[in-house]
Amino acid sequence: MLGINPDIRKSHTLTGEFYRSEVIFNQVIEKIFARSWHYADDAGCIKSNISIQPINLLPGVLDEPIVFTRDKNGKAHCMSNVCTHRGMILVEEGSKSRIISCKYHGRCFRLDGSFKSMPAFEEAEGFPCEDDNLPQVPFTEWAGMLFTSLNPLVSFEEIIRPIQERLSFLPLDKMVFDASRSKDYFVNANWALYCDNYLEGLHIPFVHPALNANLDFENYAYEIYPYCNLQLGIGNGQADSFDIPEGHQDYGKDVYAYYYWLFPNLMLNFYTWGLSLNVVEPTSFNTTKVRFRTYMYPGAEAVFEDSPLDETEMEDEWVVERVQKGIQSRMYKRGRFSPSMEKGVHHFHRLIQEYMSS
Ligand code: FES
Ligand SMILES: [Fe+2]
């Protein structure tokens, strides 16, 4: 047990050791990352029928080779990218091949992962059987994106439901992935420090002057759901805000951004121009890659160019890397939560505790 009290008023934060220990990090990978949902890629990677796209899930950490396909009937599949004969990696680059064939001894699979053929196995008994098919991997397509989980503790539908309901007034299926406005950031810090920082707005007036100028900080709000949470960024009337239909719970509010976080490491930041999706991928116990993926409504480029995303990211990295140094101290033990402004961080720490102890 990590000692996170369900009552935020009484609770302490995670200890410094949680962030600096490689032993704990290795447990986190199996207990949390192998059992949660991940953004794999844009669904455009298997846009046309008969297409194949391999993905290495969390390189260097989970390192799980999987492959997405779309068959001739337009149905998508996700499965292991490891040959069921002697373990060769099957697909190394995207293609339009009709079958998956192993380059080691020629075993072939259909695009749904089922075994098709294998030379020199005529005399093998009880062959082929279920185990010769490629193991299926749970996945889902949502708003033009592919999500996957190796061994999910909860369904993606359950996690995303509060977001789906709240944002049903937005044409999310019209958003288009924009590679030219997407990039990766590399941060010298433990992945959970980056998430902690994202999950509270308490630091905004201190760390983000440009963002703060767009927000009405007095009305910044937090909402906690089972496996995701929301920070509602209310604008101060100076910046672009959502056109919210009458009858919606946010009608009449000047909403600048819906900042959603999905346990453990996914951020969906909805703005009037579209979505900034941030995936916080650990690359080791003390280094992190943050993938920023931009999804935009057609014609919204000018509004996007106005938002201070890159500047805000630099400011967050500056502070998170200094916290990484701070928690190495022999004198830092653990902290407390602001009950009004650090509900999201407390939620994150509670979920870490729940996954680590189950
Ligand atoms: S490892 Fe694939 S056919 Fe042998
Ligand atoms: Fe920040």
Structural domain includes residue 147: no
Q: Is the pLDDT of residue 239 over 90?
A: no
- The rounded Å distance from CA 314 to ligand 2 centre is 9
User: 237 with 261, same domain?
Assistant: yes
Structural domain includes residue 184: yes
User: 30 with 62, same domain?
Assistant: no
Structural domain includes residue 2: no
Which two structure tokens, joined as six digits, stand for 211?
């963002």
Ligand 1, pocket-test mutation among 67, 80, 107, most atoms within 8 A of CB: 107
The CATH number linked to 328 is 3.90.380.10
The CATH number linked to 120 is 2.102.10.10
Q: pLDDT-based confidence at 264, cuts 50/70/90?
A: very high
Ligand nearest to the CA of 100: 1
Angle at 184 between CA 183 and CA 186, to 5 degrees: 150
Structural domain includes residue 7: no
Q: What's the pTM?
A: 0.96
User: 30 with 75, same domain?
Assistant: no
User: 43 with 114, same domain?
Assistant: yes
pLDDT recorded at residue 161: 98
Q: What pLDDT digit, counting tens, does each position of 29-47 carry? A: 999 999 999 999 999 999 9
How confident is the model over 326-332, as a mean pLDDT? 97
Q: pLDDT-based confidence at 305, cuts 50/70/90?
A: confident
Counting atoms of ligand 1 from 1, which one is nearest the CA of 86? 1
Structural domain includes residue 1: no
User: 115 with 195, same domain?
Assistant: no
Which two structure tokens, joined as six digits, stand for 273?
């121009």
pLDDT recorded at residue 251: 97
How confident is the model over 13-39, as a mean pLDDT? 98
Spatial CB neighbours of 42, under 8 Å, sequence gap ≥ 6: 144, 145, 146, 177, 293
User: 73 with 128, same domain?
Assistant: yes
Q: Which residue's alpha carbon is nearest to atom 3 within ligand 1? A: 105
Structural domain includes residue 229: yes
Q: Which amino acid is at 45?
A: C
pLDDT recorded at residue 307: 76
Q: pLDDT-based confidence at 303, cuts 50/70/90?
A: confident
Structural domain includes residue 94: yes
User: 20 with 75, same domain?
Assistant: no
Rg from Cα positions in the chain: 22
How confident is the model over 8-29, as a mean pLDDT? 98
How confident is the model over 241-259, as a mean pLDDT? 96
Structural domain includes residue 5: no
Q: Average pLDDT over the chain, rounded to whole?
A: 96
- The rounded Å distance from CA 139 to ligand 1 centre is 25
Q: What percent of the chain has pLDDT over 70?
A: 100
User: 233 with 186, same domain?
Assistant: yes
User: 307 with 182, same domain?
Assistant: yes
Q: Which of 29-33, 301-305, 314-318 shows the lowest per-residue confidence on average (mean pLDDT)?
A: 301-305
User: 231 with 311, same domain?
Assistant: yes
> Do 196 and 348 touch, CB atoms closer than 8 A?
yes
Cα–Cα dist 228/114, whole Å: 35
pLDDT recorded at residue 8: 98
Burial class (CB in 10 A: 0-12, 13-18, 19+), 171: exposed
Which two structure tokens, joined as six digits, stand for 327?
């928690």
- The rounded Å distance from CA 48 to ligand 1 centre is 28
Ligand 1, pocket-test mutation among 99, 105, 116, most atoms within 8 A of CB: 105
Ligand 1, pocket-test mutation among 67, 88, 103, 134, most atoms within 8 A of CB: 88
User: 82 with 196, same domain?
Assistant: no
User: 257 with 233, same domain?
Assistant: yes
Q: Is the pLDDT of residue 71 over 80?
A: yes
Q: Of the residues 108, 142, 176, which one is the last residue of a structural domain?
A: 142
Q: What is the domain range of residue 94?
A: 38-142
Omega of the bond leading into 171 within 30 degrees of 0 (cis)? no
Q: How many domains does the chain have?
A: 2
- The rounded Å distance from CA 55 to ligand 1 centre is 19
